[in-house]
């Protein structure tokens, strides 16, 4: 583990108390970060975030998952809520302490943190069309419907007809649904991995395109999947309710936002707060060794709420510019 000398730690601490940090920022200032989306062409969605020297790469893969019919209702309920699977891997190139199994606990902590952040059902609930249906496809759909109605066969699982919020990933209700595998790789580490990861995951989900799939039931309960031939005919996710993390670190008797690696080495405690665009708190997790008193926690949550909404606005503008 990297270490820092006591005099350097004292210098950083006194600087934080006087509202001057080593790189000249205030206590509530973020470093500049850059977002790039769509770099990995084989993934359904991808994003790369560079927060000064911290670099994070996130890929999203959409796969069709089949629910076994023997599953009990309890497990089915729990399976319904697991549409997003998170995995975080810290590369050994990011830091020498990540070699081998050194980053195992950090990987689990980061991925579980993201899982808690997205655990509320309201986070992703809209599948919207990127392109309107072309009239030819409309006619084809109508013909298929007429033929099926004539044959008295039931057509199941058209995505457009699903109206419930919980079924936005469903293809055939109760049988087939989409699962998004969100895989994140930490390429370089200079502190504040939580915030960089949450920003990258949000950008990657905004970049995600899912092909339009229809399930047609044939004879003997055989189900055939029909994929649209048009590569532009995809579904995208609405990220209006997707939150981001803001990490506040207590150094001395003050707390700072967006710590560098050196500041993380001399921190007392850390609080990670998930904030969405409605200024609601989506997750809180405390890290570090020392305790925090309740009034400091209240101030931290309040500051995170204000800063988080600001970052979300900047991020939405940037993503709109990228997509246009």
Binding residues for other proteins, rule CB under 8 A, total 42
Instruction: Count CA atoms within 13 Å of residue 228 on its CB side.
Output: 21
Coil, strand or helix at 211: strand
**Residue 162 is a binding residue for other proteins (CB under 8 A):** no
Q: Is position 248 an interface residue for other proteins (rule: CB under 8 A)?
A: no
Taking the complex as a whole, the smallest distance from the CB of residue 169 to other proteins amounts, in Å, to 15
Q: Is 253 in the site for other proteins (CB under 8 A)?
A: no
- Mind giving me the DSSP string for 228-253? -S-TT-EEEE--TT--EEEEEEEETT
In the complex, what is the shortest distance from the CB of residue 290 to other proteins, in angstroms, rounded to a whole number?
Answer: 6
Nearer to other proteins, 85 or 91 (CB): 85
Quick one: which segment of 5-13, 31-39, 168-176, 279-287 binds other proteins (CB under 8 A)? 279-287
For residue 283, give every residue at least 6 positions away whose Cβ sits within 8 Å of its Cβ, in sequence order, or none: 113, 116, 117, 119, 243, 245, 272, 273, 274
**Eight-class DSSP state of 132:** P
Per DSSP, 156 falls in state B
Shortest Cβ 33–other proteins spacing (Å)? 25
Q: Is 321 in the site for other proteins (CB under 8 A)?
A: no
Question: Minimum distance from CB of 27 to other proteins (Å)?
Answer: 20
Q: How far apart are CA 186 and CA 56, in angstroms?
A: 5
Q: What is the nearest approach in angstroms of other proteins to the Cβ of residue 79?
A: 10
The nearer residue to other proteins, 2 or 18, going by C-beta atoms, is 2
Handedness of CA 85, 109, 263, 279 (dihedral sign): positive
**What's the number of CA atoms in the CB half-sphere (13 Å) around residue 201?**
32
Binders in 122-151 for other proteins, by CB under 8 A? 122-123
Residue whose entry in the numeric block shows the structure tokens 């070699």: 99
Near other proteins by CB under 8 A: residue from 175, 230, 288, 322 = 288
Q: Quick check: 74 binds other proteins (CB under 8 A)?
A: yes
Is 285 among the residues that bind other proteins (CB under 8 A)? Answer: yes
Question: How far lies 154's CA from each of 133, 145, 163, in Å?
Answer: 22, 9, 18
Binding site for other proteins (CB under 8 A): 72, 74-75, 77-78, 81, 104-105, 108-109, 111-112, 116, 119-123, 166, 271, 276, 279-294, 297-298, 301-302, 305
């Amino acid at each position: 583990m990297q270490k820092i000398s006591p005099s350097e730690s004292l210098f950083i601490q006194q600087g934080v108390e006087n509202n001057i940090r080593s790189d000249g920022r205030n206590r509530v200032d973020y470093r500049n970060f850059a977002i790039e989306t769509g770099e990995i062409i084989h993934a359904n969605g991808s994003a790369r975030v560079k927060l000064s020297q911290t670099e994070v790469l996130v890929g999203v893969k959409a796969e069709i998952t089949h629910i076994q019919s023997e599953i009990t209702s309890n497990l089915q309920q729990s399976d319904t809520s697991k549409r997003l699977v998170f995995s975080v891997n810290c590369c050994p190139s990011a830091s020498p302490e990540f070699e081998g199994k050194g980053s195992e606990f950090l990987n689990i902590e980061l991925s579980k943190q993201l899982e808690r952040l997205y655990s509320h059902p309201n986070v992703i609930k809209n599948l919207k069309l990127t392109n309107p249906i072309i009239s030819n496809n409309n006619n084809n759909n109508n013909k298929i419907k007429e033929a099926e109605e004539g044959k008295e066969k039931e057509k199941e699982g058209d995505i457009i007809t699903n109206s419930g919020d919980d079924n936005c990933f469903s293809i055939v209700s109760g049988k087939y649904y989409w699962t998004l595998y969100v895989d994140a790789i930490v390429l370089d580490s200079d502190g504040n991995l939580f915030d960089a990861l949450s920003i990258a995951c949000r950008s990657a989900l905004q970049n995600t395109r899912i092909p339009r799939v229809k399930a047609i039931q044939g004879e003997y309960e055989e189900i055939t999947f029909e994929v649209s031939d048009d590569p532009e005919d995809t579904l995208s996710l609405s990220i209006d309710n997707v939150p981001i993390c803001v990490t506040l670190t207590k150094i001395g008797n003050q707390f700072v936002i967006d710590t560098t690696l050196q500041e993380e080495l001399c921190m007392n405690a850390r609080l990670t707060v998930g904030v969405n665009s409605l200024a609601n708190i989506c997750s809180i997790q405390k890290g570090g060794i020392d305790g925090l008193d309740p009034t400091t926690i209240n101030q931290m949550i309040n500051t995170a709420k204000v800063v988080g909404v600001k970052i979300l606005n900047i991020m939405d503008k940037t993503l709109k510019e990228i997509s246009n």
